């Protein structure tokens, strides 16, 4: 193999957190015991540092393993023994694990998306009954907070400058140009469907509140590492400052 197998096993498979203590019941958790290793020179320190670095990289992988087998693989590789797995076997094992993790993640996201879609549908059905809320044929809902008297965007390729903030149904704010202290500028054909449709309803100087069902937002995708969960209905407050 081109690289020691113990590195491949540790990095690609993941070793779990071998240093973790057993799960404690509620209450003050005891401090972990201090290591008894003695580091006498650079080789000692670099070896220990490498072990820590490997564990930091792989602790979140949660790959099923047995500690004694991992230790044996490391020893075999360091001793130059004929290894129990060929390089091709290792590669196939990694690929199978990644496919399994991907399938599990997709199933989890699909379940979460279905739950969020159901909650969003219920919200939109109730929201549509409120005075002042209008619904377009696409399912976009909006209400006018301030009606300006400037021009409307000329079409889906129009460039606009806006201030906005975006929220989940529970009120969690996931984005805000106000907090950044700078308006956003973009062409309307470069944003999600709901935004493109919604901003074209506005006139410069207006401030609207929009309610986007998931199919007009990000669908069943998870966005921003989970900041926007899959299947989310989104709420935006938008102030149209300029258009050309």
Strand partners, 14: none
Scan for tokens 């129990």, then name that residue. Answer: 84
Q: Is residue 142 flagged as an active site residue?
A: no
Residue among 74, 142, 164, 211 flagged as catalytic: 164
Residue among 208, 210, 211, 236 flagged as catalytic: 236
**Closest-CA residue to 61 (of 19, 20, 12, 95):** 12
Distance between CA atoms of 138 and 111, rounded to whole angstroms?
25
Distance between CA atoms of 22 and 96, rounded to whole angstroms?
29
Q: Is residue 211 flagged as an active site residue?
A: no
Phi–psi pair at 180, nearest 5 degrees: -75, -15
Q: Is residue 94 flagged as an active site residue?
A: no
Residue among 218, 220, 228, 235 flagged as catalytic: 218
**Closest-CA residue to 196 (of 234, 157, 236):** 157
Using DSSP's 3-state secondary structure scheme, residue 65 falls into: coil
Helices (H), 153-205: 177-180, 193-199
Residue among 7, 94, 97, 192 flagged as catalytic: 192
12: which DSSP letter? I
Distance between CA atoms of 239 and 208, rounded to whole angstroms?
7
Scan for tokens 């956003």, then name that residue. Answer: 184
Q: Is residue 220 flagged as an active site residue?
A: no
Residue among 97, 175, 186, 215 flagged as catalytic: 175
Residue among 63, 97, 123, 174 flagged as catalytic: 174
Element (H, E) at 72: helix 67-78
Q: Is residue 42 flagged as an active site residue?
A: no
- Pairing state of beta strands 159-167 and 234-243? antiparallel
Q: Is residue 145 flagged as an active site residue?
A: no
Which residues have a catalytic role annotated? 164, 174-175, 192, 218, 236
């Amino acid at each position: 193999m081109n690289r020691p197998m113990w590195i491949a096993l540790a990095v690609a498979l993941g070793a779990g957190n071998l240093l973790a203590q057993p799960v404690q019941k509620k209450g003050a958790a005891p401090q972990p015991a201090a290591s008894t290793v003695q580091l006498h020179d650079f080789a000692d320190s670099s070896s220990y540092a490498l072990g820590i670095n490997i564990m930091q990289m792989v602790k979140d992988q949660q790959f099923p393993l047995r500690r004694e087998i991992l230790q044996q693989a490391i020893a075999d590789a360091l001793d130059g023994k004929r290894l129990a797995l060929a390089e091709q076997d290792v590669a196939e094992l990694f690929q199978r694990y990644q496919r399994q993790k991907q399938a599990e993640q997709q199933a989890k996201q699909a379940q979460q998306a279905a739950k969020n879609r159901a909650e969003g549908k219920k919200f939109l059905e109730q929201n549509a009954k409120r005075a002042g809320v209008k619904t377009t044929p696409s399912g976009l809902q909006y209400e006018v907070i301030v009606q300006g008297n400037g021009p409307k965007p000329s079409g889906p390729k129009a460039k606009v400058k806006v201030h906005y903030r975006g929220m989940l149904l529970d009120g969690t704010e996931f984005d805000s140009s106000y907090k950044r202290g700078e308006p956003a500028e973009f062409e309307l054909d470069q944003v999600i469907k709901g935004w493109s449709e919604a901003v074209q309803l506005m006139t410069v100087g207006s401030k609207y509140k929009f309610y986007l069902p998931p199919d007009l937002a990000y669908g069943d995708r998870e966005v921003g590492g989970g900041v926007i969960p899959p299947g989310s209905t989104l709420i935006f407050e938008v102030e149209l400052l300029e258009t050309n």
